[in-house]
Amino acid sequence: MLIRNKPSWHISHAEVTPEPVYLARRQFMAGTLATATALMLPASLLAEEKGLRSLSAAPNPDYSTAETKTPFSDVTRYNNFYEFGTGKGDPARYAHEMQVEPWFVSVEGECARPGRYNLADLINEAALEERVYRLRCVEAWSMVIPWVGVPLASLIEKFEPAPSARYVYFETLHDPAQMRGQRGRFSTIEWPYREGLRMDEAVHPLTFVAVGLYGRVLPNQNGAPLRLVVPWKYGFKSIKSIVRIRFQAERPKTTWEQMAPHEYGFYANVNPHVDHPRWSQRRERRLPSGLLSPNWMDTRLFNGYEAEVAHLYAGMNLAEHY
């Protein structure tokens, strides 16, 4: 059930500046990584981006921030998606090799309706809404993205999880033939990519399943055709290209938690008071950003969504349960 309360960061949708205005205001800074990446993109990819199918979505101002949106070009050309390579521009270069139609999601575990579902059976386009969320990467850069999708709670309700299901596990597509990063001999990741949420986090009204952004079908490099968006957590929790959902009693082991547990915990809540062992989390670089104008800003606890989600972690030591 969608809860339409008005959070502390509520704004009118009319206050959100249209995409063309922001695109016109964007300044290309010589030497920036984002600009360099864009210049190296093949013309075929640029044409593909322009040809993405539009999605009809009802704006939801109750779950949107008034902050300046990151331009579409930056959102789609500066990504972490190691299945296609470790460079920020690799997903934009190679993700077109992944086929997203047809797409099936296996639902498993402690629920009344397990099965293999076609994407069209999971997402009703008539129910799509747009939400403008902040995205904070653990690497200390951030974006503001207008996602299109549905609340995760609406999907979970379809599967009727059992009371014993305390966690929700997610898995990304594992297909080295289509995802060149998975077939690299020197990859340190044990594929497939795995993530998980506590059930109360999963059904929280802010937790979102995206199938698009900027009113268009989700580009492959951004996690097409189905990705998770959890705006108060670091970006690596928002797993992309989901093919498996499992309801379970025990806490799942997640990919980055398994690889480097001293650096990446299960919760991954944005917290400026808990530094990464190798860098500070007190500030973030909001994209687009250049060498001469790096656009640094202070990071907020829970990425600015503290009033909405802090109660989920009442009594927990956030430095211990990072």
pLDDT tens for each residue of 182-222:
997 878 899 999 999 999 999 999 999 999 999 999 999 99
The helix/strand/coil state of 15 is helix
Residue 322 in any domain: the answer is no
Confidence (pLDDT) at 14? 40
**pTM of the prediction?**
0.85
Residue 142 in any domain: the answer is yes
Long-range contacts of 35-38 (CB under 8 A, 24+ apart): 35/290, 37/77, 37/78, 37/88, 37/89, 37/92, 38/73, 38/77
124: domain CATH number is: 3.90.420.10
Q: Does the pLDDT of residue 36 top 60, yes or no?
A: no
Confidence (pLDDT) at 234? 98
Among candidate residues 89, 82, 208, the one with its CA nearest the CA of residue 145: 208
Structure token digits, residue 162:
């059992």
Residue 218 in any domain: the answer is yes
Confidence (pLDDT) at 55? 97
Residue 92 in any domain: the answer is yes
Give the distance, in angstroms, between the CA of residue 93 and the centroid of all CA atoms in the same chain. 19
């055709």: which residue's tokens? 225
68-87: string of b/e by CB count within 10 Å (b at 16+)?
A: ebbbbbbbbbbbbbbbbbeb
pLDDT in tens, 107-140: 999 999 999 999 999 999 999 999 999 999 999 9
Q: Does the pLDDT of residue 241 top 60, yes or no?
A: yes
Residue 247 in any domain: the answer is yes
pLDDT in tens, 54-76: 999 999 999 999 999 999 999 99
Confidence (pLDDT) at 12? 42
């020197």: which residue's tokens? 186
Q: What angle do CA 155, 160, 164 make, to 5 degrees?
A: 120
Overall average pLDDT of the 228-256 stretch: 98
Q: Does the pLDDT of residue 25 top 80, yes or no?
A: no
pLDDT in tens, 225-236: 999 999 999 999
Q: Does the pLDDT of residue 141 top 90, yes or no?
A: yes
Domain span at residue 140 reads: 13-313
**Backbone phi, psi, residue 145, to 5°:** -125, 130
Q: Is the separation of the CB atoms in 219 and 49 below 8 Å?
A: yes
Residue 203 in any domain: the answer is yes
Q: Determine how β-strand 115-118 pairs with β-strand 104-109.
A: antiparallel
What value does the mean pLDDT of the chain take? Answer: 88
Question: How many domains is the chain built from?
Answer: 1
Residue 150 in any domain: the answer is yes
Residue 2 in any domain: the answer is no
